[in-house]
Structure 1
Amino acid sequence: MRYVIIGGVAAGMSAAMEIIRTDQSADVTVLERGKDYSYGQCGLPYVINGVIPSVEDVIARNVETFRDKYAINAKTNTKVTNIDAEEQIVSGIHTETKERFTASYDRLLIASGSDPIFPDWEGINLEGIHTLKTLVDTKGIMKDVSDDIKHVTIVGGGYIGLEMAESFKTLGKEVTLIQRGKQLANIFDLDMAELIHEEAKKNGIELILGESVEGFTGETRVESVVTDKQTYQTDLVLVAIGVRPNTRFLNDTGIHMNKQGAIHVNAYMQTSIENIYAAGDCATHYHIIKQLDDHIPLGTTSNKQGRIAGANMAGNALTFKGIVGTSIVKFFDLTLGRTGITEKEAKHLNLSYKMQTIKANSHAGYYPGGEILHIKLLYHKETNQLLGGQVIGKKGVDKRVDVLAIALYNQMSIYELLDLDLAYAPPYNGVWDPIQQMARKVKR
């Protein structure tokens, strides 16, 4: 059986490894448009500020390991430009030699990931303007951030923007963060995002909200950022306004995609075309709470979907159960966690909901060292089913978010949180966990 995989990072290599475990006679070819395989993109901001010593440290397995140890035909610098679904042939170009190539498949996985959004703003191609997605991007930023760079401007207040604001500040740079909307971290509600704004200002981040970038000025290198209201002098720019699925090469294939360009897949990771599968950032992700196909590109989901796609391609039927929208990020002294849906999303979905908030100690109040947790829970007005949670604080955020994620996955009611047998000792928790304290406040 000939398996071809487009993409050699999270989903692609999770699938490749699952295929060779399941089908001992598998002929696996991976077509990666870059030169790096199987690395942790989420670790890149911490490489730039030196918390992680080297880019090599975020590589799980290099290309030689896949070739020599697992007999995978792992190719690099091979950009796919076309798929002939009828003949089952993939074609493209070798980006270094400019030579054309073809690869025949019995089963194909599209795991082409996503690309940073890089608008056609005036001056966008000036030196000193970066995005962050790959090891090459990381090395480029590290090479550019010399002692001569005093001021950095970040365009975009999502997770990458926040992580990189901290990273650049750690390197001793002045940082301005520009966000088009009225809040950072749009995956949180505004009342919770205010805590993030306070943390940014406390750490010396110049926060510019409600302004849209229109372009950049400079002779050969960027010197300023121009918005619809002002001009800001700067020495380096990071554009971090989101990503889009890398699927434009599929436009003539007939594969069903959503309006963002994410490939529609079923629970078996099958696309609308026979023998073609998709997984990861380029695919849709079924959201258990929303009960619809969503697109929330995260490494955890990519690895899960890749494994499931590989198993199904090799004949072992597994299904992807879905996501609940869980994510977490470190921002200076705060941890920002969320799962399920926000008030904004509930309103967009026309869901009838109630909301509960609390400020609670991260562990028993009489034990020293506790920190305040800010928690917000949403639940359905009629059924009391838990819909989502947002948790921000210095300690114990990850524990609460993970508990809520499991509750959401199992579609529990807010009252059922009271029945959970959660770990308790004064250094770690109170006899009633903060999320249980919230549930106790909800009248039956």
Structure 2
Amino acid sequence: MRLIVIGGDAAGMSAASQARRLLKPGDLDIAAFERGEYTSYSACGIPYWVGGLVDGPDGLIARDPAAHRANGIEVHTGHEVTGIDLRSRTVTVRSSGADRTESFDHLVYAAGATPVRPAWADTPAKGIFGVQTLGDAAALQEWLEPGRDTAVVIGAGYIGVEMAEALQRRGLRVTLVERAGQPMSTVDPDMGALVADSIRGLGIALRTGVTVQGLETADGQVRAVVTDDGVLPADVVVLGLGVRPNTALADAAGLPLGVTGALATDLRQRVTGPDGIVEGVWAAGDCTQVTHLVSGRPAHIPLGTHANKQGRVAGINIGGGYATFPGVIGTAITKICDLEVARTGLSSKEAEAAGFRYVTATVESTNRAGYFPGAVPMTVKVIAEKDTGLLLGAQIVGRAEAAKRIDAFAVAVWNRMTVTEMTALDLGYAPPYAPVWDPVLIAARKAGDAL
């Protein structure tokens, strides 16, 4: 048999590696095609490379092409798959301007996602960057030479706030522009307000409720960002407007897309559509849609954690084993300098859209016993289903040791616990690590009271 993998990052190479563990080269030939230069790297680490906190690009690479080849996977970088023919079971591959045809028995579509790039950003002028790949980050690093001291980051989601911090660490004056009324729109407005206050307290100029209308350029490079609230000077512009599933190639081949615009799969990562399973075709990573286990709805949530798990599931099944990927609950975490932000499950807006009746409870607590050195405040918000008390979601904004507490909430959401059940959880306690009533327990208890 022959397996072809489209995309050489987390999902694709996880699938290839797992299939190779189960089937020897004599039983399964594996060829992976990656249009970029790198394989198996952490795109999530790019802001920390740009900010000088970690080394790159090599420091962000888990396994380079040579390592994959040593494991019996035929990796081709600088090769772009430009066509899929399901009837003939072939793909068209382009390299150095020449096309060739490769056959497959199994195909893993792991093309990832593409950054949202508005029409006004389509200009030959230099100084405008997305940060989706290591190549993007390398180009940005090269551009940030002495003399460039003003940056505008457009979009205040996860990548936007992380890049704003990174550029500020590099000594640039940073303006962060967001069309919505708050940064981090994946958390509720009251929690987003805490994030906004902290961002401004760091010296980053946050402009919310502002729409970008275009760019001003001169001498072949960007000079300013034009908004409906004025013109913002810029030596560098970073786009943090999110991503879309990279499914154009799949769509052109007739592979069915889900309601999110991403590829729909079954629990085993087999591509599915109205006519059932597409035999021998698998998909994983940011190009796929997932099931949100709380709302029960399809969702597109691009994260490296999901991509690696889905790729592993696909590889096990291709290799003759059995594995499933049940879905996600929307857990996410980030930091802006010393501020930590985390969420899991549904936000209030998402709970309402899903048809839940719910209550919320918000508490102020500390990361350690109040009398212990280093105790700092955090805010925890819990969303629970009215009547049943089922935990629907949680959000945390705080500083040291705050955000990883979201994992306790994530486990509770995953296992469909009620907030009343959560109040009896046997969480670890010692003054250097938590108050005698951990913030997780206090928030659950207050939600129980609200019921």
In structure 2, the residue matched to 1:77 is: 78
Query: After superposition, where does 1:40-119 map in structure 2 within 5 Å?
Result: 40-67=42-69, 69-94=70-95, 97-119=96-118
Distance 1:374 1:122, change over 3 A: closer
TM-score of the superposed pair, with normalisation by structure 1 = 0.97
> Secondary structure of 1:282's partner?
coil
Q: Give the ranges of 4+ consecutive aligned residues of structure 1 lying more than 6 Å apart after TM superposition.
A: none
Query: Using the alignment, how far apart are the partners of 2:296 and 2:121 within structure 1?
Result: 40
Preserved contact between residue 117 and residue 242 of structure 1 (Cα < 8 Å): yes
Question: Does 2:7 match 1:7?
Answer: yes
Are the aligned partners of 2:121 and 2:128 in contact in 1 as well (CA < 8 Å)? Answer: no
Q: Return the offset for 1:430.
A: 2.1
Q: Which residue of 2 aligns with 1:210?
A: 209
Q: What SS does the aligned partner of 1:304 have?
A: helix
Q: Which residue of 1 aligns with 2:40?
A: 38
Name the amino acid aligned to 1:156.
G
Please say which of residues 335-344 and 115-124 is displaced more in the overlay: 115-124
Question: One-letter code of the match for 2:381?
Answer: K
Residue 332 in structure 1 maps to residue 334 in structure 2: no
Counterpart residue number, 1:313: 318
Distance 1:321 1:420 in 2: 25
1:153 and 1:200 mapped to 2: Cα distance?
14
Identity across aligned pairs (percent)? 37
2:443 is the alignment partner of 1:430: no
**What corresponds to 1:127 in structure 2?**
126
Distance 2:243 2:180 in 1: 17
Structure 2 match to 1:227: 227
Which residue of the partner structure matches residue 164 of structure 1?
Answer: 163
Q: Is the Cα contact below 8 Å between 1:156 and 1:240 reproduced in 2?
A: yes
**Deviation of residue 398 (structure 1)?**
3.4
CA contact (8 A) 1:335 1:393 kept: yes
SS in 1 for 2:75: strand
Distance 1:385 1:236 in 2: 46
Q: Could you tell me how far apart the structure 2 residues matched to 1:144 and 1:293 are?
A: 39
Q: Tell me, what secondary structure is at the counterpart of 1:133? A: coil
Distance apart, 1:335 and its partner CA: 0.6
1:284 corresponds to: 289
Could you tell which deviates more after superposition, 362-371 or 151-160? 362-371
In structure 1, distance between residues paired with 2:404 and 2:137: 31
Deviates more, 1:347-356 or 1:250-259: 250-259
Counterpart position of 2:28? 26
Q: Does 1:375 align with 2:376?
A: no
Instruction: Say if 2:138 is the partner of 1:139.
Output: yes
Q: Secondary structure of 2:423's partner?
A: helix
Deviation at residue 123 of structure 1 after TM alignment? 6.0
Check whether the contact 1:355–1:379 (CA below 8 A) recurs between aligned residues: yes
Distance 1:221 1:99 in 2: 32
SS of aligned partner of 1:264:
coil
8 Å CA contact retained: 2:419, 2:445: no
Amino acid at match of 2:235: D
Letter in 1 for 2:241: I
Which whole-Å CA distance do the structure 2 matches of 1:15 and 1:363 have between them? Answer: 42
Aligned-partner Cα distance in 1 for 2:121–2:212: 10
Q: Secondary structure at the match of 1:222?
A: strand
The CA deviation at 1:311 is 0.6
1:371 alignment partner AA: V
Determine the C-alpha separation between the residues in 2 that align with 1:252 and 1:122: 26
* Structure 1 position 122, deviation (Å): 6.1
Match of 2:286, SS state, is helix
1:151·1:175 contact (CA, 8 Å) conserved in 2?
Answer: yes
Please give the alpha-carbon distance, in whole angstroms, between the structure 1 residues aligned to 2:181 and 2:432: 38
| 1:268 aligned residue | 268
Q: Name the SS for the 1:81 alignment partner.
A: strand
How far apart, in 2, do the equivalents of 1:372 and 1:36 lie? 41
Count of aligned residue pairs for this structure pair: 441
Q: What do residues 212-241 of structure 1 show as CA deviations (whole Å, max 9, x unaligned)?
A: 111111121111111123211111100110
User: CA 1:223 to 1:307, structure 2 compared with 1: closer, same or farther past 3 Å?
Assistant: same
1:391 aligns to what? 396
Deviation for aligned residue 1:11: 0.4
The whole-number CA distance in structure 2 between the counterparts of 1:269 and 1:73 is: 22
1:395, distance to aligned residue in structure 2 (A): 2.0
Sort the Cα spacing of 1:402 and 1:216 in 2 relative to 1 into closer, same or farther, 3 A: same
Give yes or no for contact 2:108–2:282 (8 Å, CA) kept in 1. yes
Contact 2:342-2:404 within 8 A present in 1 as well: no
Tell me which residue corresponds to 2:346.
341
Change (3 A) 1:170 1:119: same
Number of the residue aligned with 1:293: 298
**Taking structure 1 as reference, are residues 137 and 428 closer, same or farther at Cα in structure 2, changes over 3 Å only?**
same
SS of 2:409 mapped into structure 1: helix
Report the secondary structure of 1:4's partner residue: strand
Q: Is the 8 Å Cα contact of residues 244 and 260 (structure 1) preserved in structure 2?
A: no
How far off is 1:259 after superposition?
4.5
Displacement after TM superposition at 1:71 (Å):
1.5
Amino acid at match of 1:31: F
**What is the one-letter code of the residue matched to 1:8?**
G
Cα deviation 1:241-269 (Å, max 9, x = unaligned): 01011110122333221344210011100
> What is the distance in 2 between the residues matched to 1:170 and 1:269?
40
Q: Is the 1:122–1:214 Cα contact (8 Å) retained in structure 2?
A: no
Contact 2:377–2:398, Cα closer than 8 Å, also in 1: yes
Q: Tell me the TM-score normalized by structure 2.
A: 0.95
Equivalent position to 2:363, from 358, 367, 387: 358
Aligned partner of 2:275 in structure 1 is: none
Distance 1:335 1:131 in 2: 24
Q: Is the 8 A contact 1:353 1:380 kept in 2?
A: yes
The residue type equivalent to 2:38 in the other structure is D
Instruction: Tell me how far apart the structure 1 counterparts of residues 259 and 385 of structure 2 sit (CA, whole Å).
Output: 29
Equivalent-residue separation in structure 2 for 1:218 and 1:322 (angstroms): 44
